[in-house]
Structure 1
Amino acid sequence: MINIAICDDDNDMIQALKSAISSYSKTHAIEFEVHSFQSGEKLLDCKLDFDLIFLDIEMGGMDGLKTAQLYRQIDRRARIVYVTNHSELALQSYAVHPFDFVVKPFESSRIFSVLGELTKYLSENSAKDTVIQLKGEDGPLLLNLKNIYVFEYTGNRRITVYTESEKYQIKGSLSDVFSIINSESFVSPHKSFIVNMEHIDKLNNFTLYTTNGIEVPVAQKKLKEFHNEFSRFIKNYIRQG
């Protein structure tokens, strides 16, 4: 099931998008669950996660660009398609990292194109799920790579692996870990840590914080390199959706 949100203060536009999505669903045998919101405030109040958001730029009250900026603080992974009456506003939308944009009025084929790119993207990224085998204290440990937040070397060839709510003890060095994970999402901001950049929430001076509250020091001599790596990651992340 693919979850889609439509945020537009024009009910006719909401119905037009729903109709196009329904047609695509029937012809491609893909299930969509569609939720509609007539203001940015209502979208921001919603507790659901969405695979795609059709977001009107020009709305009464909070406009679409401000809504997107605030929504990014809630869900950095959201794929946003901006919808506008004016093509020049689409250029402004790139400051808030769009997946695509649609100019009104639109043909159903334009929405079909967006949904086709979405399903392709979701399929490709689903295939990228990788399970790695680590040397656990009590034998082999299998973990999904994307669920790992931090590796911390604690000495004596012992490493603590942090996920969202659990932690595990494994044997080896951080160089051993890097040889196993083989992923551009991971970076070492300090000699004792490897961090999954997908789960970084913020950086404050020489400390970064993951989305589940883990604090990781950033070595002064590695700060510039870390900034470069994280900027590269964010640019690639935005380009993918």
Structure 2
Amino acid sequence: MIRIGICDDEAYMLERISEKVKSHMAASHMEASLRRYGSGEELLGSGEKFDVIFLDIGMKGLDGIETAKRLRAGGYRGYVVFVTVSEEDVYRSFKVGAFDYLLKPLDEKEFERTLRRILASFRSKHEGRMLIRHDGEWSVILFHDIVYAEVVNRKIHLRLTDGRDIEYYDQMKRMLDRVDERFCRCHRSYIVNVEHIRAFIPGNELMMDNRDLIPVSRTYRESFNEGYFDYVGGAYD
């Protein structure tokens, strides 16, 4: 399932983008959820989590660029596709980590090309997996399903998005060698999936999507920050 948000202050564009997305997802055999918003303020206030957001740059009130800045500042690491009437907005759009931009009126081929690239990237990210042995059997664990890993008494505990805690014998260094760049070590006993960080808590803690609090130790703070910002694309202005 891919979660898609569409934000435009023109009802016609909201409908048009929605229909194009639905059509492409059906043709790609990809399950998707869609949410539509008429302003940047409405999108930011929704509290919804998205994998992809289509943002109109020229909205009244909070424009698309400022909306994207606030999303990034709040920890959003998904794809942003700007929709704009002017190529003059291109430079500003990429400063906030845009995946792509589309010019109005929408070109069918360009829109399809952008969606194909997004889906290819999304599928690649979500196909990462590892094979582990626990409780006498082998299990395939998808990287996307791991919120964080904790080592306790020589066992690694994987806290998963479905609430399960899977434990198996391994070393943290070996696990880091097996996973990809979305995983960062923040403490001697913890590796976190940065895609599941909900908030940074004063006092050097991370709140994860499952509401668990994870410490960031002084020893790992610098390397964690480097890994985190490398993955999300750097600090956004």
Match of 1:149 among 138, 147, 150: 147
Residue 234 (structure 1) aligned with residue 232 (structure 2):
yes
Match of 2:209 among 203, 208, 211: 211
Change (3 A) 1:230 1:4: closer
Change (3 A) 1:106 1:146: closer
Report the AA paired with residue 58 of structure 2. Answer: E
Residue 177 (structure 1) aligned with residue 169 (structure 2):
no
Q: 1:100: how far off?
A: 0.7
Q: Distance in 1 between matches of 2:172 and 2:25?
A: 46
Q: 1:82: how far off?
A: 0.8
Q: Deviations over 1:71-107 (max 9, x none)?
A: 4577724322111222222222223321211223343
Residue equivalent to 2:39: 39
Q: Deviations over 1:187-240 (max 9, x none)?
A: 22222222222223326443333232323333323222222222222229x9xx
Normalized against structure 1, the TM-score is what? 0.75
Stretches of structure 2 lacking an aligned partner (at least 5 in a row): none
Residue equivalent to 2:81: 81
Q: 1:56: how far off?
A: 0.8
Residue 190 (structure 1) aligned with residue 182 (structure 2):
no
Q: 1:47: how far off?
A: 6.7
Partners of 1:149 and 1:210 within 8 A in 2: yes
Residue equivalent to 2:132: 133
Q: Distance in 1 between matches of 2:22 and 2:94?
A: 28
Residue equivalent to 1:7: 7
SS in 1 for 2:233: helix
Q: 1:49: how far off?
A: 5.3
Q: Looking at CA atoms only, which structure, 1 or 2, has the larger radius of gyration? A: 1
Residue equivalent to 2:166: 168
SS in 2 for 1:177: helix
Matches within 5 A, 1:4-153: 4-17=4-17, 21=21, 35-44=35-44, 46=46, 50-72=50-72, 76-126=76-126, 128-134=127-133, 136=134, 138-140=135-137, 142=139, 143-153=141-151
Q: Distance in 2 between matches of 1:220 and 1:227?
A: 11
Q: Once the two structures are aligned, what percentage of the paired residues are identical?
A: 26
Q: 1:108: how far off?
A: 2.3
Partners of 2:77 and 2:195 within 8 A in 1: no
Report the AA paired with residue 206 of structure 1. Answer: N
Partners of 1:72 and 1:78 within 8 A in 2: no
Report the AA paired with residue 94 of structure 2. Answer: Y
Stretches of structure 1 lacking an aligned partner (at least 5 in a row): none
Q: Distance in 2 between matches of 1:207 and 1:124?
A: 30
Kindly tell me the number of residue pairs found equivalent between the two proteins.
231
